[in-house]
Structure 1
Amino acid sequence: MVDKLKSYTWILPLLWMGIIFFFSHQPGDESAELSGGITQFLLMVLEGVNIPLDQAALHGIIRTMAHFTIFFILGYLWYISLRFRDVSPGYSATIAFVLCVAYAFFDEAHQYFVPGRACELKDVMVDSIGAGCAILIGRLLSALRQKAFIKI
């Protein structure tokens, strides 16, 4: 049963990559509408508690956090997928990070061809940092789990 599950560990990170592709393929106006709606909601909430914010600045923060978060999830999914297949923690971290950075470059290159979108190196950096943070957390959890297992 476990061996059969191991053959399916690639599905979640690949599906997540498909979701990233879907969002990246949205024309600029659709993408801006989605993040703009989130911005408007947060502005309404924050103004309700007397926290004034500039709409453009908040919109930029939301878009940056979206990049960080989606690649954080991708990094963790790749790391867990590789660990589940008994790849060592160090190799899992390295392979997962390389896959995520490569996909971040692909994602930005793809956006160059989507109307109203841009290819920005800053986004690749944010994506890479998000993936790296998730992989680092996964690596630390693996080390803690291994340490706890040895003590038992």
Structure 2
Amino acid sequence: MRKKQLWSWGMVGIWMTIIFLFSAQQGSSSGSLSTSVLNMVSSTWAFIFPSLPFDEQYLHLFIRKGAHFSVYFILGGLVSNAFRTSGVSFKKQIGYAFIFSTLYAASDEFHQSFVPGRGPSIVDVGIDSVGAAVGIFFYHGTRKIILPLLKK
């Protein structure tokens, strides 16, 4: 295995481990992490816009689901890169990366069914899959459009 290929798949493995560790947090730990982010955003909002109220419950939901989208956005890009460095054709890179990321999202939700205070959610698998798809297309868009412009 070439060094670049090994590095790419190693980054995928590291990121999957990070996702696994977040999912292994008990419900109370996971909730307190998102609550601390909520408090930070809330206090910043109150400082910048003191007279504009906002719905903290909606923001809390947005933070939690945004975290799902974000971590799978990164995973989608990393998996695409790993398939590219492995010599997989362009169309297959997209399909394989999406399938890989979606299957990992489903297995992650299944894993959460064994964690106290957590549970599986098909909605989260959907959000994860959309995040992965956007990450895959962002990765390829960056490689095909932005990188050539930077080389000029």
TM-score (norm 1): 0.89
Match of 1:139 in 2: 140
Measure, in 1, the Cα distance between the counterparts of 2:141 and 2:16.
Answer: 24
- Range 81-90 or range 70-79, more displaced: 81-90
Measure, in 1, the Cα distance between the counterparts of 2:2 and 2:112.
Answer: 38
Match of 1:37 in 2: 36
Match of 1:79 in 2: 80
CA contact (8 A) 2:4 2:85 kept: no
Measure, in 2, the Cα distance between the counterparts of 1:107 and 1:60.
Answer: 19
Question: 1:10-25 residue pairs with structure 2 within 5 A?
Answer: 10-25=9-24
Shift of 1:145: 7.2
Paired letter, 2:11: L
Match of 1:92 in 2: 93
Shift of 1:86: 2.1
Secondary structure of the structure 2 residue equivalent to 1:9: helix
Secondary structure of the structure 2 residue equivalent to 1:118: coil
Paired letter, 2:46: E
Contiguous gaps of at least 5 residues in structure 2? none
CA contact (8 A) 1:89 1:139 kept: no
Contiguous gaps of at least 5 residues in structure 1? none
Measure, in 1, the Cα distance between the counterparts of 2:138 and 2:90.
Answer: 11
* Runs of 4+ residues over 4 Å off in structure 1: none
Secondary structure of the structure 2 residue equivalent to 1:7: helix
1:36-68 deviations in Å (ceiling 9; x for gaps): 000011000011122321221111000010000
1:97-136 deviations in Å (ceiling 9; x for gaps): 0000000000111111110012111100000000000111
CA contact (8 A) 2:94 2:136 kept: yes
**CA-based RMSD:** 2.0
TM-score (norm 2): 0.89
CA contact (8 A) 1:24 1:111 kept: yes
CA contact (8 A) 2:109 2:120 kept: yes
Measure, in 2, the Cα distance between the counterparts of 1:93 and 1:13.
Answer: 15
Identity of aligned residues (%): 34
CA contact (8 A) 1:105 1:124 kept: yes
